Amino acid sequence: MSILRYVWPEGDTTPYRIIQKPAGQAWGAFKLIGSQIFPVGDFDNGRPSLREPNRAYQTSKGWRVFYTGRVNPNLDAMLETMVNDGCDTMYANIAKRRRYYASRIEPKYADPTLGESSAITRFVEEQGTRDSAWDEFIAIHDEWTGAHNGAEVLI
């Protein structure tokens, strides 16, 4: 299956990786940011109401939420928590098979006409106290996705 194409190297404790997804039948090549230790959820049916530290981004199809009070939770238990919070079940199933969380940081389709007026995510809000281990991951994610560029169009 193509979703399993990238396998995290055995024994690798790198906190995150930039992963190149090859072009598919319906999209071009694009990059993901993946992590085994930073829980990231994908919510297509509205922003979840969480009672724990989190960082929320709007995407073209819903919400991306970082559980910023947690670092390296048990993946299976965390995915169950995310699903109970309203996370997209297909995302959770893919993450479970991959054994890491992943989020798109580049567009699937190149559209040079959009330029700076587009972004992958739009930062909305951070709640609670973030574990400082998240700082570098968030900086990389936000830079790649244009989370703070004021873009009108999310792609």
Which among 9, 13, 15, 5 has a CA at the least distance from the CA of 141? 15
Higher per-residue pLDDT: 11 or 66: 66
pLDDT of 7 reads 83
- The answer to whether 94 touches 86, Cβ cutoff 8 Å, is no
Residue-wise pLDDT tens digits, 127-145: 999 999 999 999 999 999 9
For the chain, the domains span: 15-154
What's the pLDDT band for 115 if we cut at 50, 70, 90? low
pLDDT tier at 86 (50, 70, 90 boundaries)?
Answer: very high
Longest CA–CA span in the chain (Å) reads 43
pLDDT tens-digit series, residues 36-48: 999 999 999 999 9
Q: Is the pLDDT of residue 74 over 60?
A: yes
Q: Give me 134's structure tokens.
A: 């998240």
DSSP letters spanning 92-130? HHHHHHHTSEEEE-S-SS--TTTGGGEESEEEEEEESPP
